[in-house]
Amino acid sequence: MNRRQFATFALFAGSVATRAFAQDENRPRNRGGGGGPPMGIFKVVSIDTYARTIDLQAADGSVSTVKVPEGVYELSKLKPGDRIQVNFYVPDSMNPGLRAASIYPAN
């Protein structure tokens, strides 16, 4: 490995390590306790593929609309009645609504 390749590798490794250990406000976290559903398993009530939103029903019967960013999950795979596990981004001043960070089929 020559000096140029080593320098490129060192810069790349440093940027990856910095990102991995940094406190990122957009990192998925459990919403636990503050307005809206906490991380958990929900029933799909309806899907709007154009707006990329889904209405989810929690175990207590409450229904919330959740924005699903591009690349998080293929909404065409969902249908009303499906049960899914959803992790949420922490809302901030730029994105105050509920946003899904990850979605997985629930067994």
pLDDT in tens, 61-84: 999 999 999 999 999 999 999 999
Output 95 or 47, whichever has higher pLDDT: 47
CA 30 to each of CA 14, 39, 72, 85, 95: distance values in angstroms, whole numbers, following the listed order: 28, 5, 16, 12, 16
Q: Which domains does the chain have, with CATH numbers?
A: 28-105 (2.40.50.140)
Contact (CB, 8 A) for 45 and 80: yes
Output 96 or 75, whichever has higher pLDDT: 75
Give the model's pLDDT for residue 5: 53
pLDDT in tens, 8-65: 544 455 544 444 444 444 444 444 444 544 678 999 999 999 999 999 999 999 999 9
Give the model's pLDDT for residue 1: 57
Output 107 or 33, whichever has higher pLDDT: 107
Give the model's pLDDT for residue 92: 82
pLDDT over threshold 90, residue 85: yes
